[in-house]
Amino acid sequence: MTVRTRDGLATAERIVVKVGSSSISGEASWRIPMLVDALAAAHGRGAEIVLVSSGAIASGIPFLSLDARPTDLATQQAAAAVGQNILVYRYQEALRPFGIVAGQVLLTTGDLDTPTSRSNARRAVERMLGLRVLPIVNENDTVATQEIRFGDNDRLAALVAQLVQADALVLLSDIESLYTKPPTDPSAEPIDVIAAGADLTGLEFGATVVNSVGTGGAATKVSAARLAAASGIGVLVTSADLVAQALQGDPIGTWFEPA
């Protein structure tokens, strides 16, 4: 069921939701139960939900007594190995009161580029959804190298949405919507809807940034949203704090119309 407008999220049958490291890691880990409450509500009405969650490396940092995000690949991989376990445990504990079981899916670019492994990944996720399991997808940071990374989980979420032929994609951010200029600019205005194939020349979404816990930024969300929208998947970009309203189809965030 193609969702043409954001209010269709309230009745969408299959939704991919992506949340970034800065929204659910460290001092922001309190958001996990809030996020899960919203996902469980949609799951409870019969929707199939796939969660693409960053945060493995960020979740592992405190357990390795590191002061900041590691810069060398080996330590990033070690932090991801420890943190992925912690991350999924936190999600499962939050899901437990709702009787929902989480399933971990770790992917590399090769898994989606190669026909056989792509088919295997699709079959596994489809079966989990059929069993009413909530798949939690992340990049397999423990084995990924700089040369074979997705780049960011916004792009991964768009590719997963294509993989499972989702009705809609929700990209959760730190801000309520995208703006015509960086939000710190007094002349910046929120963007309500971006039409399929719209010319975005003149809009300043900002470059990809690397912060203390993850990578991302408005530019990566725009790129991922346009990738999904071009394949017929409507995309909402909004704040992680508004996830419940987003899944209820409320008039919030920036909506990318599907082609």
Which residues contribute to the annotated binding site?
Answer: 18, 54, 141, 153, 173-174
CA atoms within 13 A on the CB side of 54: 27
Closest CA relative to residue 56, chosen from 34, 86, 27: 86
Which residues contribute to the annotated binding site for substrate?
Answer: 54, 141, 153
Which residues contribute to the annotated binding site for ATP?
Answer: 18, 173-174
